[in-house]
Amino acid sequence: MGHLGMLKAKLAKLRRDLLEPSTGAKGGPGGEGFDVTKVGDARVGFVGFPSVGKSTLLTKLTGTYSEAASYEFTTLTCVPGIVRYRGAKIQMLDLPGIIEGAKDGKGRGRQVISTARTCNLILIVLDCLKPLTHKRLIEHELERLPLTFSRIPVDTLSYGPYSARRKKDRGGINFTTTVATPKIDLDAVKAVCSEYRIHNADIHMTDDHDLDDLVDVIEGSRVYIPAIYVINKIDQITIEELEIMSKLPHYCPVCAFHEWNLDGLVEMCWEYLDLVRVYTKPKGKLPDFNEPVVLHRQRSTVEDFCNRIHKTLIKQFKYALVWGSSVKHRPQRVGRDHVLHDEDIVQIVKRI
Ligand SMILES: Nc1nc2c(ncn2[C@@H]2O[C@H](COP(=O)(O)OP(=O)(O)OP(=O)(O)O)[C@@H](O)[C@H]2O)c(=O)[nH]1
Ligand SMILES: [K+]
Ligand SMILES: [Mg+2]
């Protein structure tokens, strides 16, 4: 027994070593995510402590096998699967378990967190027998997750007294102003940006403001990733306990193993992803209800719709005809800035 115990401990230690990033390769300030291609209309990442059931959940939800076992750190990499729901393709990512200290580079923590940043929704998977302690620890690890800038299109970063234009990957921080003797200088701006992990941006100030204003502008432009707490293994608790957990906001109780409430979870993901399905209608033909163009609610204008169909379509755009809840008349003629609703039908009329 003693010998077996020692072997088990050694094995666990070796598995943990496997997870440690090799010396010196800490992956930069944000760390590098796993190299998994984004496919589909939205991406959902599973984050949680080891052995809470993330891989079991992926296998049951998507049909893509991800190894599950009773020992910790069974999953050492990112395993993608796909769920098709209401005409949309949702990519789901099973990730290695994270442990306390993940964000400081423990285990594959940084890689997991970097990958989580690329998601449109995060499922924080908890074991219902230890939800509260785990929940606090995970939230602490994810604390820097609110995205700064990374999902905001370049030309919309113009707020209040500042306009900040984010460059793609290089150029550093530039600061320009029309104020003769500004209260702040480039070094100060750089310091603030670095706190927010903004490494490349052009920041222009038209009136004399201080650093607090800059912080407010950046704070105001942060994009948060929605999250659902998936409480797994509810086969282990009583109905009374389950009832309490079901009432908590953003909680979704499931049993991955027996596939209990997985439909409920997918429905909740759909709701939190806030997607908009738009059906295309070619002239003189019926709309295509099988393959909707799936947009995100924040980016669901007619122009966004066109860009998803073809890069150059907007250049030939004259107007669009829209049927659905976003318009009063059916059809109604609209311009490129018109915001589309879920299940609208659109016909693009081109200039000749
Ligand atoms: N009772 C019960 N056990 C479950 C449930 N879901 C998963 N398990 C078990 O929990 C253990 C861990 O499951 P995994 O899917 O490997 O967990 P994981 O979160 O992917 O673990 P790591 O990859 O090691 O981080 C396995 O023995 C599963 O069979 C469930 O709903 N109920
Ligand atoms: K496991
Ligand atoms: Mg796993």
Q: What is the β-pairing status of strands 222-223 and 201-205?
A: unpaired
- Residue 347 clears pLDDT 60, i.e. is over it: yes
**Among the three residues 214, 249, 273, which one is the final residue of a domain in this structure?**
273
pLDDT at 216: 67
Strand boundaries in the chain, DSSP class E:
42-47, 79-85, 88-94, 121-127, 147-148, 158-159, 162-166, 173-177, 201-205, 222-223, 227-232, 251-253, 275-280, 293-296, 317-323, 332-334, 344-350
User: How far from 218 is each of 149, 161, 189, CA to CA, in Å?
Assistant: 8, 11, 11
Each residue's pLDDT tens digit, 214-225: 776 766 655 568
Q: Is the domain of 28 the same as that of 128?
A: yes
Structure token pair of residue 261: 């409430």
Q: Which residue has the higher pLDDT, 152 or 130?
A: 130
Write down the residue that tokens 């234009």 correspond to.
Answer: 165
pLDDT at 219: 64
Residue 53 CA: which ligand is closest?
A: 1
ipTM beyond cut 0.90: yes
CATH number at residue 334: 3.10.20.30
Does any ligand 1 atom lie closer than 6 A to the CB of residue 261? Answer: no
Average pLDDT, rounded, for the chain? 82
What single letter denotes the amino acid at residue 337? D
Burial 205-230 (b: 16+ CB within 10 A, else e): beeebeeebbeebbeebeeebebbbb
Q: Is the domain of 182 the same as that of 192?
A: yes
Q: Is the domain of 135 the same as that of 240?
A: yes
Each residue's pLDDT tens digit, 39-87: 999 999 999 999 999 999 999 999 999 999 999 999 999 999 999 999 9
User: How far from 213 is each of 184, 191, 340, CA to CA, in Å?
Assistant: 11, 14, 34
Substitution site in 51, 65, 141, 233 for ligand 1 pocket (most atoms within 8 Å of beta carbon): 51
Q: Is the domain of 293 the same as that of 342?
A: yes
**Among the three residues 242, 257, 273, which one is the final residue of a domain in this structure?**
273
Task: Name the DSSP letter for residue 171.
Answer: S
Instruction: Provide the domain limits for residue 216.
Output: 154-223
Per-residue confidence at 304, pLDDT binned at 50, 70, 90?
A: very high
Residue 49 CA: which ligand is closest?
A: 1
Q: Is the domain of 116 the same as that of 235?
A: yes
Q: Is the domain of 195 the same as that of 341?
A: no
Question: What is the distance between the alpha carbons of residues 99 and 73, in angstroms, rounded to a whole number?
Answer: 10
Question: What is the distance between the alpha carbons of residues 42 and 74, in angstroms, rounded to a whole number?
Answer: 26
pLDDT at 133: 79
Q: Is the domain of 98 the same as that of 170?
A: no
Cα dihedral 32, 34, 38, 44 sign: negative
Of all protein residues, the one whose alpha carbon is nearest to atom 23 of ligand 1 is 75
Does any ligand 1 atom lie closer than 6 A to the CB of residue 97? Answer: yes
**Among the three residues 273, 289, 304, which one is the final residue of a domain in this structure?**
273
Cα dihedral 91, 97, 103, 104 sign: negative
Q: Is the domain of 20 the same as that of 39?
A: yes
pLDDT at 95: 96
Which three-class secondary structure state does DSSP give residue 21? coil
CATH number at residue 47: 3.40.50.300
Each residue's pLDDT tens digit, 86-132: 999 999 999 999 888 776 767 788 888 888 888 899 999 999 988 77
Tally the domains of the chain: 3
Q: What is the β-pairing status of strands 317-323 and 344-350?
A: antiparallel
Q: Ligand 1 center to residue 51 CA distance, Å? A: 5
| Percent of the chain whose pLDDT exceeds 90 | 50
Question: What is the distance between the alpha carbons of residues 306 and 250, in angstroms, rounded to a whole number?
Answer: 34
DSSP 214-272: HHHHHHHTEEPPPEEEEEE-GGGS-HHHHHHHHTSTTEEE-BTTTTBTHHHHHHHHHHH
Count Cβ atoms below 10 Å from residue 95 Cβ, excluding itself.
29
Q: Is the domain of 13 the same as that of 35?
A: yes
Q: Is the domain of 206 the same as that of 231?
A: no
Does any ligand 1 atom lie closer than 6 A to the CB of residue 55? Answer: yes
Instruction: Report angle CA 54, 56, 58 to the nearest 5 degrees.
Output: 70
Q: Is the domain of 95 the same as that of 203?
A: no
Which three-class secondary structure state does DSSP give residue 8? helix
Q: Is the domain of 45 the same as that of 122?
A: yes
